[in-house]
Structure 1
Amino acid sequence: NIEVLSGTEIEALDGEEGNLATVRWRNRASGAETTRPIRHLFLFIGADPNTDWLANCDVALDARGFVRTGSDIGSAQMETSRSGVFAIGDVRAGSVKRVAAAVGEGAQVVAALHAYLARGNADTFRMAGRP
């Protein structure tokens, strides 16, 4: 009872007392609208990384625009191609694209930052944070 609809846009969600009853969507290619009785809806909005702003930062991206990290590029875990710059969550190449995983990756980066600073990079780290 699951239907995956790509290339569609939700037009309306209708229901009563906080319960979903019907969903209306439009196919972007054909323009056709469909309304069906539906009680549960899962939206997956976008799988494209928003990394255009990294174009001039010397941070390596993969062919799809995700940030490359770790052993893939010879860096510490979660570290990008730029020393002392780390990436976590959906924007990282190879991530599982789940919120809980991103939270765990954030905790891992805390340890990686401590190791980075312990290697004698404290001055570099402070300089990078100055305006």
Structure 2
Amino acid sequence: MTALEGDGYLRAVTFTDHKSGASERRPIANLFLMIGAEPNTEWLDGRLTLDAKGFVQTGKGEDGKALASPFATTRAGVFAVGDVRSGSVKRVASGVGEGPVVVQAIHQFLNPGVA
């Protein structure tokens, strides 16, 4: 995507192939960015279990059994929420909603036996 055109509203988008240099302008009225569509998790490889696309797997241990939280990773005390989590719906509202939910699991991990 190399250009957005409009007059207060989006009217067109120009796409350019970076290899060939060819450009194509298309009439488009709406644009949605999926920033989390490609996880930046290479640094976690070998530290947490990642799926084939690089998203962090949560909710199940390496043995396949359910963990105490759907946001728990295979490393005790490490949780993942939002776009980086395998199986998440990759929407802002979901990530925002998962944040407060995981706080309870974090408190339980830090203070075992306290209700």
Query: Do both share a fold (TM > 0.5)?
Result: yes
Confirm or deny that 1:36 pairs with 2:29.
no
Larger of the two Rg values belongs to structure: 1
Post-superposition CA distance 1:49-102 (Å, at most 9, x none): 11112135x311122211111136442221111101111011111111111111
* Distance change (3 Å), C-alpha of 1:28 and 1:62: same
Q: Greater helix share, 1 or 2?
A: 1
* Bigger relative CO (Cα 8 Å, ≥ 6 apart): 2
| Partner residue, 1:106 | 99
RMSD over equivalenced CA pairs, Å: 2.2
The equivalent position to 2:68 in structure 1, one of 70, 76, 100, is: 76
**Are the aligned partners of 2:61 and 2:73 in contact in 1 as well (CA < 8 Å)?**
no
| Partner residue, 2:49 | 60
Cα distance in 1, alignment partners of residues 44 and 90 from structure 2: 20
The equivalent position to 1:14 in structure 2, one of 5, 21, 32, is: 5
Post-superposition CA distance 1:80-125 (Å, at most 9, x none): 11101111011111111111111111111111112212326xxxxx
Cα distance in 2, alignment partners of residues 14 and 63 from structure 1: 37
| TM-score, normalised with respect to structure 2 | 0.78
Task: Give the gaps of 5 or more residues in structure 1.
Answer: 1-9, 121-131
Task: Give the gaps of 5 or more residues in structure 2.
Answer: none
Cα distance in 2, alignment partners of residues 83 and 115 from structure 1: 12
| Partner residue, 2:78 | 85
| TM-score, normalised with respect to structure 1 | 0.69
